[in-house]
Chains A and B, each alone.
Chain A
Amino acid sequence: PKTHRVMTLADHISHIITQDFARNQ
């Protein structure tokens, strides 16, 4: 069965920013 991850726009934005800075460390 398909599962879904629901998050707020703000959390989605924070997640991408954290990932970007972690990758460029």
Chain B
Amino acid sequence: PCPVAPSSRSSQEVWESFSQCFTPAVKEVVEFAKSIPGFQTLSQHDQVMLLKSGTFQVLMVRFCSLFDPKERTVTFLNGQTYSLASLRALGMGSLLDAMFDFSEKLASLGLEQDEMALFMAVVLVSADRSGIVEVGAVEQLQENLIKALRSLITSRRPDDSTLFPKLLLRLPDLRTLNNQHSEKLLAFRID
């Protein structure tokens, strides 16, 4: 739910309410990660590092369902729909454009909910390894999750051998989104 403002509020206030949106969304990714089979067998340090480098990318996948690439609108969980143009005032134009493109490609694959969830688990454990101590353990977990994703997708679409590779090709897209946009500024009012 994102209380993005009616037009009467200043873009600063709009920006603050938009920034507030991220906090619950990030917490949900942390809970999601803990539910991934094997994630909590990693060291606490490596769990934190993977979350720090992968959460933005998981959020990008989760937010895709809010984006309507055809209408160029975003509908928040509170039902409020905004056009791309109105959201540009928040100064996130380039991120929003990239999000529309990414969500169009992902939506075209037509994944089921459980396939999307497993894909998000793969996204998280495929995140940047620079801070990881036990790389082998993370790579083993990634391999297991990719195997599970492949068998789930191929079992449902035995005659479509292109979907799985197309899905894995979204991983570099997400990494680019992350490198280009995770340094965007948020603003929090401190009274």
A residues sitting closer than 8 Å to B (CB atoms) are 2-10, 12-14, 16-18, 20-21
B52 x A4 contact (CB < 8 A): no
By Cβ-Cβ distance, the 5 closest A-B pairs, closest first, are A10-B182, A16-B26, A5-B188, A17-B51, A8-B183
A13 x B52 contact (CB < 8 A): yes
Q: Does B48 have its Cβ within 8 Å of any Cβ on chain A?
A: yes
Q: List 5 A-B contacts (CB under 8 A).
A: A5-B190, A10-B182, A13-B56, A16-B23, A16-B26
B residues sitting closer than 8 Å to A (CB atoms) are 19, 22-23, 26-27, 30, 44, 47-48, 51-52, 55-56, 181-191
Q: A4-B189, A9-B182, A9-B183 are in contact. Are A21 and B19 (CB under 8 A)?
A: no
A21 CB to closest chain B CB (Å) equals 5
B37 CB to closest chain A CB (Å) equals 19
A17 x B191 contact (CB < 8 A): no
Q: Which chain B residues border A7 with CB–CB below 8 Å?
A: 185-186, 188
CA of A17 to CA of B55, assembled, Å: 9
Q: Which chain A residues border B26 with CB–CB below 8 Å?
A: 12-13, 16-17
B27 x A20 contact (CB < 8 A): yes
